[in-house]
A and B are shown apart, each in its own frame.
Chain A
Amino acid sequence: MNGVHDMGGMDGFGRVEVEANEPPFHHSWEGRVMAMSRAIGANGGVNIDAQRFSRESLPPPVYLASSYYKKWFLALQQLMIGRGMIGADEVAAGRALRTSPPLQRGTFSLKDVARVTVRGSFHRDVSTSPAFKPGDKVRAKNINPVTHTRLPRYVRGHVGTVERINGSHVFPDSAAHGNAENPQWLYTVVFSGRELWGADADPTLKVSVEAFEPYLDPA
């Protein structure tokens, strides 16, 4: 979706402000939100792509004005309500009012913790060969789905060069919406700054994105 989350190249947000000796969490609830999101994702509740899409789908003023973990909280709660895993009435009551089917992998418990602190593999075998090889010129497609995509707006329509093939991975555009993992070849595609930003761009700039094969046309 063409949401406000797709920030690459936007102006007006000001300088980067660095907090010295920043702690992992600024409030204890932030840690709980992070942990709940990881736990529900890990045990088959809602996957990472669906969680990202839920965050992107927050209304733009809410997205821009909310702290990072507040976005995670709002998105997780909304997604679980949308999937029927919890009820809006339960949120209002602050407690469970009925039983629900268990998560696919059961209650997230201590034995599951080690699994979420190491990234899982997103590699999936496919029967096709990659359509592109390093050095190939490719054009990022001009796509504007209202659903989840990981092709940022700032590269759409632009020509870049395939630099690496990173294997075949779960396709977020499908997985975010409860569809099959639909694995696709994943490439690092590099663009010159001038291709993306025009003649005034820094001539020493190169920007790469990680692009799935369905995002690319030969150029």
Chain B
Amino acid sequence: MSAHDHDHDHGSELSEMQLRVRALETILTEKGYVDPAALDAIVETYETKIGPRNGARVVAKAWTDPAFKRALLGDASKAIGTLGHVSRVGDHLIAVENTPQRHNMVVCTLCSCYPWEMLGLPPIWYKAAPYRSRAVKDPRGVLADFGVALPKETEIRVWDSTAETRFLVLPMRPPGTEGWSEEQLADIVTRDSMIGTGLPKVQP
């Protein structure tokens, strides 16, 4: 964990948190509830193995393989399960497709539900009050915070993740990417484009 251990940069509250968390972990370990090595492995998995690259590969595949795209929009968990090279994915994943007529955006107003297996851990903004409060009422204002402006007639569909279903936005494939490989396409699929707060970024 040392790469991310920069608690010394911050104030006393964080040192206090470090002590309190260490105390709880000691108790849970001494009680026999957890093995600290297993906790290390969970942390390492989310630091190094599971991130938005998983979702980007799924999107790139859907852009290049119409049969896979149909399967993905029909049952995302099942379709992704057929791709050996992407992270294992649990149940209840729903892929929603952006079109010229409709833009999808995902939020969890009640907590922070997010498709971890596809995108990794959610960023702070996704879990914080400004996004959770405004996404369902003023999504165009939220998109403006991200520098995204959509045509005024485009329908904005916000999916509030209030249960154990999870949502992955399938963004539109940008023009000028004809003939690109899946690998090249995956490189332009940003995390935010799969949440619906951004668009794929074609590098000049």
Cβ of A50 within 8 Å of any chain B Cβ, yes or no, is no
Cβ of A139 within 8 Å of any chain B Cβ, yes or no, is no
1/0 per residue, CB under 8 A from B, across A122-157: the answer is: 110000000000000000000000000011101000
Binds A, one of B61-69, B157-165, B169-177: B157-165
CB pair B92 A197 closer than 8 Å: no
1/0 per residue, CB under 8 A from B, across A82-93: the answer is: 000110001100
CB pair A118 B117 closer than 8 Å: yes
Within the complex, which residue of B123, B133, B134 is in contact with A22, where a contact is CB–CB below 8 Å?
A: B123
CB distance from A99 to the nearest CB of B (A): 7
- Given the complex, which residues of B lie within 8 Å of A39, measured CB to CB? 33-34, 38-39, 42
CB pair A68 B127 closer than 8 Å: yes
CB distance from A176 to the nearest CB of B (A): 12
Give the B interface residue count (CB, 8 A).
90
CB pair B161 A210 closer than 8 Å: yes
In residues 1-57 of chain B, which contact A (Cβ within 8 Å)? 1, 4-7, 10, 14, 17-28, 30-35, 37-43, 45-47, 49-51
**In the complex, residue of chain B having the shortest beta-carbon distance to the beta carbon of A48:** B164
Cβ of A31 within 8 Å of any chain B Cβ, yes or no, is yes
CB pair A108 B132 closer than 8 Å: no
CB distance from B34 to the nearest CB of A (A): 5
**In the complex, residue of chain A having the shortest beta-carbon distance to the beta carbon of B157:** A206
**In the complex, residue of chain B having the shortest beta-carbon distance to the beta carbon of A153:** B109
CB distance from B9 to the nearest CB of A (A): 9
CB pair A122 B136 closer than 8 Å: no
The distance in angstroms between the C-alpha atoms of A26 and B159, with both chains bound, is 28
- Given the complex, which residues of A lie within 8 Å of B26, measured CB to CB? 94-96
CB distance from A29 to the nearest CB of B (A): 4
CB pair B43 A34 closer than 8 Å: yes
Give the A interface residue count (CB, 8 A).
94
Cβ of B91 within 8 Å of any chain A Cβ, yes or no, is yes
1/0 per residue, CB under 8 A from A, across B121-165: the answer is: 101110111111111111110100110000011111111111111
In residues 138-186 of chain A, which contact B (Cβ within 8 Å)? 150-152, 154, 164, 166-167, 169-170, 172, 186
CB pair B139 A205 closer than 8 Å: yes
Within the complex, which residue of A6, A15, A56, A91 is in contact with B24, where a contact is CB–CB below 8 Å?
A: A91
Within the complex, which residue of B34, B92, B112, B161 is in contact with A122, where a contact is CB–CB below 8 Å?
A: B92
The distance in angstroms between the C-alpha atoms of A86 and B117, with both chains bound, is 31
CB pair B39 A32 closer than 8 Å: yes
CB pair A91 B42 closer than 8 Å: no
CB pair B156 A107 closer than 8 Å: no
Cβ of A10 within 8 Å of any chain B Cβ, yes or no, is yes
Q: Are A27 and B89 also in contact (CB < 8 A) when A17-B125, A18-B123 are?
A: no
CB pair B45 A77 closer than 8 Å: no
Within the complex, which residue of A7, A100, A196, A210 is in contact with B129, where a contact is CB–CB below 8 Å?
A: A7
Q: Are A68 and B112 also in contact (CB < 8 A) when A119-B90, A206-B157 are?
A: yes
26 pairs, CB–CB < 8 Å, chain A vs chain B: A7-B129, A8-B109, A16-B131, A16-B142, A23-B47, A27-B10, A27-B18, A31-B47, A39-B34, A40-B28, A43-B33, A73-B17, A94-B19, A94-B23, A103-B33, A109-B37, A110-B37, A110-B38, A117-B49, A150-B163, A188-B165, A190-B157, A196-B136, A205-B158, A207-B158, A208-B160
Enumerate chain A interface residues (CB-CB to B < 8 A): 5-11, 13-19, 22-29, 31-36, 38-40, 43, 45, 52, 55-56, 64, 68, 70, 73, 76-77, 85-86, 90-91, 94-96, 99-100, 102-103, 107-110, 112-113, 116-123, 150-152, 154, 164, 166-167, 169-170, 172, 186, 188, 190, 193, 196-197, 201-202, 204-212
